[in-house]
Copies of this chain bind each other. A is one copy, B any other.
Amino acid sequence: MLNNRTVAAALLSATLALPAMAQFQKPEDAIKYRQSALTLLAAHNGRVAAMANGRVPFDAKVAAENAALVETLSKLPWAAFGPGTDKGDTRALPAIWAEPAKWQQAITRFQTDAIALNTAAKTGDLEAIKKASGALGQSCKACHDSFRGR
């Protein structure tokens, strides 16, 4: 059965053409890149989440701008988890490379929820943003629980 997640995942596969190989000269470049992308993701997701949680006043324009960035950034980190990037200054767990299907599933879930947050934010409906932000937060947490060490 086709559901929203399936459709979104298919769209992602079609549009995410940034080639995964040969982007980084050294493993440490890939690690620095993916950490940078995840730092920006956390910052911009955090700005939406702060509004969703009522910690800062809701501003629909700011929420939409940050959610759009979250969707754009959600595509970036994953190509930098290539072979040989499991060692070094990284909290990435071996499960990323040992369980590629589960890893890919976590990425797809995250990206799908990032798209849903952006879609919700474009409507300016705070209740929809709250729901989408909560789902995205759960995606972040689930992936960190399985694939990120301390």
Q: Which residues of A contact B (CB under 8 A)?
A: 17-19, 22-23, 29, 32-33, 35-37, 39-40, 43, 47, 56, 61-62, 65-66, 69, 72, 76
Residue in B18, B29, B56, B66 whose beta carbon sits within 8 Å of that of A62 in the complex: B18
A73 to chain B, nearest CB (A): 8
A interface SS class:
helix
Contact of B23 with A33 in the complex, beta carbons under 8 Å: no
Question: A18 — which chain B residues lie within 8 A by C-beta?
Answer: 62, 65-66
13 A-B Cβ contacts within 8 A?
A17-B62, A18-B62, A18-B65, A18-B66, A19-B62, A22-B56, A23-B47, A32-B39, A33-B43, A36-B37, A36-B39, A40-B40, A40-B76
Assembly of this chain: how many copies?
2
CB-CB < 8 A to A43: which residues of B? 23, 29, 33
Question: Nearest Cβ in chain B — how far from A57, in angstroms?
Answer: 11
Contact of A17 among B22, B33, B61 (CB under 8 A): B61
A20 → B minimal CB distance (Å): 12
Asked if A65 and B32 make an inter-chain contact with CB atoms under 8 angstroms apart, the answer reads no
When distances are taken between beta carbons in the complex, the residues of chain B under 8 Å from A35 are: 36
> Which residues of chain B are near A40, meaning CB under 8 Å?
33, 36-37, 40, 76
